[in-house]
Amino acid sequence: MKFSHDFLFGAASASYQVEGAWDEDGKGMTNWDEFSKIPGKTFEGTNGDVAVDHYHRYKEDVALMAEMGLESYRFSISWARIFPNGDGEINPKGIEFYNNLIDECLKYGIVPFITLYHWDLPLTLEKAGGWLNPRTLDAFVNYAKTCFEAFGDRVKHFITFNETIVFCALGYMAGAHPPGITNDPKKYFQAVHNVFYAHAQAVVLYKSMNLFGEIGISNVFAPAFGVDNSEDSHKAAYHANAYATHLYFDPILKGEYPAYVMDALQKSGFHPEQTADELAIIKQAASLNDFMGLNYYQPSRVELIKGELAQREITRENSTGAPGNPSFDGVFRTVKMDDKRYTKWDWEISPQGFIDGLKMLRERYGHVKLYITENGLGDEDPIVESEICDVPRIKYIEEHLQAVKQAIAEGVNVKGYFAWSVIDLLSWLNGYKKQYGFIYVDHKNNYERKKKMSFHWYRSVIESRGEHL
């Protein structure tokens, strides 16, 4: 089987992770410009001041993408380039940069797939309370409108938010992302609701503008499975899926929150404040939302915690995707299993978990249109005689594309695949050590680009529309 011609083969990046030029051409400071410079917050103090200099080298990068045969480039807009303070005056230089980037993509027939928010919040808004302050929500909707007006004639795919669960959980529970707050479930669930309300307003607005494109959101997709077939493990998996999947997918696709979670939050006192108007807009947006983006790296394996509630202890080191944590309410813990394969960062490699998860989604949400907006392998790539031999990445992506193929054959509606990432970039908490790209960046040699083995491999996959996978 070949992937059909309306299936997009792409790759992705995010502004803070690639652009650099953190204080150039009128850009405002972001929460990450500040947070990454607090000692101990990031791996070896790495930050995105220069990142991989995509801001200055976007033409070279897009030319390489074209050479790779890429059909779509998913990138994010840095809100603070457009609105240095989050709201207020527009910075024309910011609009100009993204116009240039979009036009450069279109020159080669590469479809620009834009994320409006990939975690770099203008610092002024963060200081004023971030996602807990209604000002941020209003500012987001206004920023989204500005992007729709400026770019919507050429950009036909918009993602509102990237991974609400990650920036809210790491920001308000683990303290590993800005604003660096720990163990505050009340704030965490409030931020999640506020983000979904902002998403919903942006969707309704976009549809009212008749720009004839599509809009959706990208969620982490980490389907939970019990460690064995026991009743306890089933309970643990149900609970984990309710909090990590249903809570994040239901409001977008069904327009309502899952009762299982909301009832528990009422009892524990962590229920977010919500008005009837907000809930009505979330409902309305669900009927207009065009697609769901899935960022799949790994499933989670869970077991019930018995007896005494485990103390939740989260640090930067253990909050970056590896198993071993109890859930915030002490109901289950994630487990590393002996019979599974893991990356160097202890992320499980499971194409089968991907297929099973996609079927779970189909059962709950029906024939919704899906894009895989992130999937890839974080690794330290071997260099042999100056060639970057990233064979494990090829294997990882091949297995996951095979999984997508199988899921499509079984009736799951997947319309595109974006590898993470197009080029090596800054990992938020792992610096430049954890590589994901098809293109290598030599930080010691003026950020020179080099094609990896996977670059050539992905080109041949796209050329043959995946026929030989």
Closest Cα to residue 458, out of 444, 447, 445, 469?
A: 469
Rounded to whole angstroms, how far apart are CA atoms 82 and 89?
A: 9
Q: How far is the CB of 320 from ligand BG6 (least distance, A)?
A: 5
Told to check if 116 binds ligand BG6 by CB under 6 A, we report no
CA distance to 133, 291, 321, 335, 348, per residue, from 217 (Å): 21, 7, 21, 29, 24
Q: Does 295 bind ligand BG6 (CB under 6 A)?
A: yes
The DSSP call for residue 38 is S
Q: Which of the ranges 35-43, 187-195, 266-274, 426-434 carries the binding residues for ligand BG6, by CB under 6 A?
A: 426-434
Pick 115 or 190: Cβ nearer ligand BG6 = 115
Q: Give the containing element (helix H, strand E) for 438.
A: none
Q: Is 464 helix (H, G, I), strand (E, B) or coil?
A: coil
Minimum CB separation of residue 409 from ligand BG6 in Å reads 27
Instruction: Say which residues have a Cβ less than 8 Å from residue 236's Cβ, sequence separation at least 6.
Output: 224, 226, 227, 302, 303, 304, 331, 332
Cβ-proximal residue to ligand BG6, closest one = 427
Strand partners, 35: none
Which of these ranges, 404-412, 425-433, 448-456, 458-466, lies near ligand BG6 under the rule CB under 6 A? 425-433
**76, 15 Cβ separation under 8 angstroms:** yes
Helix (H, G, I), strand (E, B) or coil at 7: coil
| Residue 317 DSSP code | G
The residue among 162 and 194 lying less far from ligand BG6, judged by its C-beta, is: 162
Count interface residues toward ligand BG6 (CB under 6 A). Answer: 15
Q: Does 219 bind ligand BG6 (CB under 6 A)?
A: no
Match 């998996």 to its residue by tokens: 237
Whose CA is closest to 399, among 432, 334, 353?
353
Candidate ranges 51-59, 65-73, 140-148, 420-428; the one touching ligand BG6 (CB under 6 A): 420-428
Question: Active-site residue among 71, 104, 374, 398?
Answer: 374
Nearer to ligand BG6, 291 or 428 (CB): 428
Cβ proximity to ligand BG6, 250 vs 374, nearer residue = 374
427 scored as a contact of ligand BG6 (CB under 6 A): yes
User: Of residues 8, 14, 165, 253, which one binds ligand BG6 by CB under 6 A?
Assistant: 14
Least distance (Å) from ligand BG6 to the CB of residue 334? Answer: 16
Among 162, 245, 334, 350, binds ligand BG6 (CB under 6 A): 162
DSSP letter at 431 equals B
Q: How far apart are CA 272 and CA 385, in angstroms?
A: 56
- What binding mask, one character per residue, do residues 324-363 give for ligand BG6 by CB under 6 A, x or -? ----------------------------------------
Mark the segment that binds ligand BG6 (CB under 6 A) among 160-168, 355-363, 411-419, 458-466: 160-168
Q: Is 149 a catalytic residue?
A: no
Select 164 or 241, whichever has its Cβ closest to ligand BG6: 164
Looking at residue 3, its amino acid is F
Nearer to ligand BG6, 16 or 225 (CB): 16
CA angle 334, 168, 414 (to 5 degrees): 75
Q: Which of 68, 144, 166, 422 binds ligand BG6 (CB under 6 A)?
A: 166
Verify whether residue 448 is a known catalytic residue.
Answer: no
Quote the least distance from Cβ 427 to ligand BG6, whole Å: 3
Nearest residue (CB) to ligand BG6, 423 versus 461: 423
Task: Return the SS3 of 39.
Answer: coil
Tell me 282's DSSP state: H
Q: At a CB cut-off of 8 Å and minimum separation 6, what does 300 contact?
A: 222, 223, 224, 225, 240, 244, 323, 334
85 part of the interface to ligand BG6, by CB under 6 A: no
Based on the shown chain and the rule CB under 6 A, indicate whether residue 245 belongs to the binding site for ligand BG6. no
Task: Report if residue 372 touches ligand BG6, rule: CB under 6 A.
Answer: no
Report the alpha-carbon distance of residue 187 to residue 185 in Å, rounded. Answer: 5
Q: Does residue 33 belong to the site contacting ligand BG6 (CB under 6 A)?
A: no
The distance from CA 41 to its chain's CA centroid, rounded to whole angstroms, is 20
Q: How far is the CB of 224 from ligand BG6 (least distance, A)?
A: 17
Which residue has 């024939």 as its token pair?
A: 367
Rule CB under 6 A: is residue 429 a binding residue for ligand BG6?
yes
The span from the CA of 145 to the CA of 198, in Å, is 12
State the catalytic residues. 163, 374
Query: Given the rule CB under 6 A, which residues bind ligand BG6?
Result: 14, 17, 162-163, 166, 295, 320, 374, 378, 420, 427-430, 434
